[in-house]
Amino acid sequence: MIVISEVGPRDGIQSLDFLVDLDIKKRWIAAEAAAGVREIEVGSFVNFKRLPQMHDTAALVEFALTIPGLDVAALVPNLRGAQAAVEAGAHKLSIPVSASETHSVRNVNRTHDQMVEEVRSIRAFVDAQPADARTSIEVGIATAFGCTIEGHVPEKTIVDLAERLMAAGASEVGLSDTTGYADPAMIRNRIKAVQAAVGADNITGVHLHNTRGLGLTNALAALECGLTTLDASLGGLGGCPFAPGASGNIVTEDLVFMLDAMGIVTGIDLAALIEVRKKLAADMPAAPIYGFVADAGVPLDFSQLVKPDPETGTYA
């Protein structure tokens, strides 16, 4: 089964220029979980002066933990954020480490060396917790396919950084197309290079943006490399405030439709997900909502279409 990790309550909300009411966020998270989404990044533990939209993350973690079967993730840029996330009870820490050092300094005010040490400190902190409170530490290598500030980011930079981060204590690394520069060939090449360097079991996910319309094709390329977790955002909300030109994530409902059509199991009810989208659009009328399936509808008799056997990949 493919895991679709919903990042809208964090990545989507942080891109907005207005605050979203806590109750709206809670309804969003609860409704997506009810639709079958099993992992949600509910917010980030950051300096709220820089990102005031994230001021209620602790309350969201507390709420999300009441939903049975939901894996609750939170973004943390440093040890202080990790401490707050662990105290709140988050199941998974997501640490952004940018392959572009210029972006790293703008995004988290730290160089590569400083971020590697930050990961090492977070690992030591997590290991010091009681066994049942030791969270997973996923490091997302941001701007892994290019940067709107520096431009080209060499593949060797990605590989070297992945090795250093795993050695510092990351549970796994992921690759993030923060700026929407990736294409399917680049996705395949860089995933395979990182797999060869740190082991395929230590890279399971990607975070993709649809800035230039290649989001779903890039997701398919990642799946072909054996990855099993795809980040997405309801309605395509999202973007990095500190990467000029970065815009929307891949659309959760469009991704679910593509995977359903291919016979790939996600465990998510597409019709229910589209209803969540409608409610979110009503709750946040000023938010830019993207995507195709919700507007066009699914094909006639979509549920009865011949699909490949999920075990063999062949058609009956």
At 119-130, the pLDDT tens digits run 999 999 999 999
Q: Domain residue spans in the chain?
A: 3-304
- Asked whether the predicted pLDDT for residue 236 surpasses 60, the reply is yes
Q: How confident is the model over 288-303, as pLDDT tens digits? A: 899 999 999 989 877 7
For residue 177, give both structure tokens. Answer: 């197309």
Percent of the chain surpassing pLDDT 70: 93
Q: How confident is the model at residue 248 (pLDDT cuts 50, 70, 90)?
A: confident
For residue 251, give both structure tokens. Answer: 């659309």
Q: How confident is the model at residue 309 (pLDDT cuts 50, 70, 90)?
A: low
Give CA angle at 289 (283, 294), nearest 5°: 95
* CB-neighbour burial class of residue 271 (10 A; exposed 0-12, middle 13-18, buried 19+): exposed
Q: Which residue has the tokens 């820089």?
A: 50
For residue 288, what are the contacts with CB-CB under 8 A and spacing of at least 6? 237, 248
Q: Which residue has the tokens 């797999």?
A: 195
Task: Give the pLDDT mean for 18-26.
Answer: 97
For residue 36, give both structure tokens. Answer: 């079958």
Q: How confident is the model over 87-99, as pLDDT tens digits? A: 999 999 999 999 9
Which CATH number is associated with domain 3-304? 3.20.20.70
Q: How confident is the model at residue 15 (pLDDT cuts 50, 70, 90)?
A: confident
Instruction: Specify the pLDDT at position 244.
Output: 47
Instruction: Specify the pLDDT at position 246.
Output: 45
Q: Record the pTM.
A: 0.93
- The distance from CA 205 to its chain's CA centroid, rounded to whole angstroms, is 8
For residue 7, what are the contacts with CB-CB under 8 A and spacing of at least 6? 40, 41, 207, 231, 232, 233, 238, 249
Looking only at the bridges linking them, the beta strands covering 3-6 and 71-75 are: unpaired
Task: Give the pLDDT mean for 234-253.
Answer: 73
Q: Torsion-angle region of residue 263: left (phi > 0), alpha (psi -120 to 50) or beta?
A: left
Q: How confident is the model over 146-175, as pLDDT tens digits? A: 998 899 999 999 999 999 999 999 999 999
For residue 57, give both structure tokens. Answer: 């993350």
- Pick from 48-52, 277-281, 301-305, 311-315 the range whose average pLDDT is largest: 277-281
- The distance from CA 203 to its chain's CA centroid, rounded to whole angstroms, is 13
Q: How far is CA 8 from CA 67, 100, 212, 299, in A?
A: 17, 24, 19, 26
According to the 3-state scheme, what is the secondary structure of the chain?
Answer: CCEEEECHHHHHHHCCCCCCCHHHHHHHHHHHHHCCCCEEEEEECCCCCCCHHHCCHHHHHHHHCCCCCCEEEEECCCHHHHHHHHHHCCCEEEEEEECCHHHHHHHHCCCHHHHHHHHHHHHHHHHCCCHHHCCEEEEEEECCCCECCCECCCHHHHHHHHHHHHHHCCCEEEEECCCCCCCHHHHHHHHHHHHHHHCHHHCCEEECECCCCCHHHHHHHHHHCCCCEEEEEHHHCCCCCCCCCCCCECEHHHHHHHHHHCCCCCCCCHHHHHHHHHHHHHHCCCCCCCCCHHHHCCCCCHHHCCCECCCCCCEC
Please, which residues bridge with residue 172 across strands? 138
Whether 147 sits among the annotated catalytic residues: the reply is no
Annotated catalytic residue within 203, 214, 219, 240: 240
